[in-house]
Amino acid sequence: MFDDTIAAIATPLGEGGLAVIRLSGVQALAVADSSFVPVGKNSRKPTEATSHTIHYGKVVRRGQQVDEVLCAVMRAPRTYTREDIVEITCHGGILAAKTVLDTVLENGARLAMPGEFTKRAFINGRLDLAQAEAVADLIHSRTELALTAANEQLAGKLSQRINELRDEMMKTLAHVEAHIDFPDEDIAPDTLEQLISRLEHGVAFMDELLHTANEGQILRRGIRAAIVGRPNAGKSSLLNQLLGHNRAIVSPIPGTTRDTIEETANIRGLPVVFIDTAGLREARDEIEVEGIRRSHESLAKAEFILHVLDASEPLTEADEKYRAEFSDKKRILVRNKTDLPVQLKMPPDVGTVDVCCLSGQGIEALKDAIKALAWSGEIKAEMLQVMINSRHQDALQRARAATRRTVAVLRAGETLELAAADLRIAVNAIGEIVGKTATEDLLDSIFSQFCIGK
C-alpha cells in the first residue's frame, strides 16, 4: 500500500533503561540491514532473519559503533501495521536513541508522523477506526477501569455491535431501494411494518449506546471536581487526603492556597481530577486577585463541586454564598474538622459527608459519595465493553436523527426515494465509527492526537 518506510523512537524521550526505535514499511528490513551489524553466530542480518526473531548486534553509523542493541524482526503480514517491522532496542540515553534514529533515517527511512504506525494498521485493515482509537485510550488510561474499557474496544467489542447495527440498516436500505427500482410495486403493508420495526429497533440500540457516552467520557478524560469553601476550611487538607500524599501546602493562615492546583486521583476506578482553589474572599493583594480569578475559572469547568465547611464554626455568610452560587452544579457538602466540638448544624434535609482531614476519618465514605455522584449505578463489566467516545456520540446522534426521519417518511407514505436518502445518511454515519466511511480530515484529526512512534 505504502511505498515509503517510516521510523520513530517509540519510547518516551528522556533517560531510561532502554529505548525502542521502530521501523515499518517495504524497506524496513533493508534499512535495518544497512544500520545493524549482527554479532555472534546466532545473529542474522534482518533480511536473512526469520520472522519474529531477535538478534544481538550493534548499530553502526559511518563506520562508528553507535550502540549495542537487540534487533527484532517481524515480517508482514503478522505485524502491527501488516508491513515489515523492525524494532531496535538500544540503551535508553537520549543521544543513543536519537543517533540510532538518525542512522536509519540516513539509510532510507523517513520520520513517522504522530500515530502513523497505527494509521497504517488501520489503512491496511489490521484495526478498524474504533479499535485504533482504543490504542490511544489504552496509552492514556489512568485507572484499571479505563484500561479494561480500552482493551474491550481494542478487542473489537464496540466494533462488532456497530457492524451488526450497520448490516441491519443496510438490509433495510437494500429493501427500500429494490422497491424504488420497481415503482409499480408498493411495499406490502406487512413488510412495511417489519421494516419500520427493524428501524425502530435500531434507534433503540443507538439510544442504548448513546447512554454510555457520559461514562465513556469520564473514563477517558476523567471527571473534574473543584474543591471550594471559605479560607481555612481545610480544602488543601482534603485534596491531600484524597490524593494520599501531601501535594498542597496546608497552614492555619487563611489564604494559604493562592494558585489553583490540579491532580488526578483514582477514585473507585474513576479518574477524578481534583482542583484545589483559593478560598474565595475579598482579595488583599494582586496575587490573591489572580488566584481568585483562576478559582472562578476552574469552577466553571468543573463537573462537580466539593464544598468544604468547617464543622467547628457556625455557618457563615460566605458559606451561604457558596451554597447559593453552586446550587445548579452537582455537589457534595463536606463537613470537615469533625474532631473539634461541632458548631455547624445543617438542616436535616441537607446531605453532608463528615470528615476529619487530620486523621482521614470519613474519607472512604466521601470517595463512595464521589463515585456515586459521578457514575450512576454499578460499574458493570458488560458496560465497559461499549463505552463510546464523543466522536462516536456525534455520529450516532446523526444516525439516530436520520433513522427517525426515515421512519416518519415511511409512516407518512411519502416517496421511497426520500426514505432511502435518509437511511443512507444513517448508514454512513454509523460507518464513520468503525471507519468504513471516513474522510482524510477525520483520519488526520484522530491520528494527530497520537504520540510519535505509535
Q: Is residue 153 classed exposed, middle or buried when 0-12, 13-18 and 19+ CB atoms within 10 A define those classes?
A: buried
Is 307 a binder of ligand GTP (CB under 6 A)? no
Closest listed residue to residue 209, CA positions, set 394, 436, 426, 387: 387
Q: Which of residues 274-303 bind ligand GTP (CB under 6 A)?
A: 279
Q: Produce one character per residue of 32-56: b if its CB has 16 or more CB atoms within 10 Å, e if not.
A: bbbbbebeeeebebbeebeeeeebe
Is 336 a binder of ligand GTP (CB under 6 A)? yes
Residues 139, 141, 144, 150: what is their CA dihedral angle, to the nearest 10 degrees?
-70
Q: Which stretch in 156-164, 228-236, 323-331, 407-415 sits in contact with ligand GTP by CB under 6 A?
A: 228-236
Whichever of 236 and 393 has its CB closer to ligand GTP, that residue is 236
> Exactly one of 28, 357, 427, 433 binds ligand GTP (CB under 6 A); which one?
357
* Under 8 Å between Cβ of 259 and 179: no
Is 252 a binder of ligand GTP (CB under 6 A)? yes
Binding mask 61-90 toward ligand GTP (x if CB under 6 A, else -) reads ------------------------------
Pick what 232 binds: ligand GTP, Mg ion, none; C-beta below 5 to 8 Å, kind-dependent.
ligand GTP
3-state secondary structure 246-275: CCCCCCCCCCCCCCCEEEEEEECCEEEEEE
Is 231 a binder of ligand GTP (CB under 6 A)? yes
Pick what 131 binds: Mg ion, ligand GTP, none; C-beta below 5 to 8 Å, kind-dependent.
none
Q: How many residues in the shown chain lie near ligand GTP by CB under 6 A?
A: 23
Whichever of 132 and 278 has its CB closer to ligand GTP, that residue is 278
CA–CA dist 322, 314 (Å, integer): 15
Is 360 a binder of ligand GTP (CB under 6 A)? no
Q: What one-letter code names the amino acid at 48?
A: E
Is 263 a binder of ligand GTP (CB under 6 A)? no
CA–CA dist 218, 373 (Å, integer): 12
Is 232 a binder of ligand GTP (CB under 6 A)? yes
CA–CA dist 159, 388 (Å, integer): 10
The cell 477524578 sits on which residue?
272
Pick what 292 binds: ligand GTP, Mg ion, none; C-beta below 5 to 8 Å, kind-dependent.
none
CA–CA dist 358, 203 (Å, integer): 52
Q: Which of residues 206-265 bind Mg ion (CB under 5 A)?
A: 235-236, 256-257
Binding site for Mg ion (CB under 5 A): 235-236, 256-257
Binding site for ligand GTP (CB under 6 A): 229, 231-237, 250-252, 254-257, 279, 336-337, 339-340, 356-358
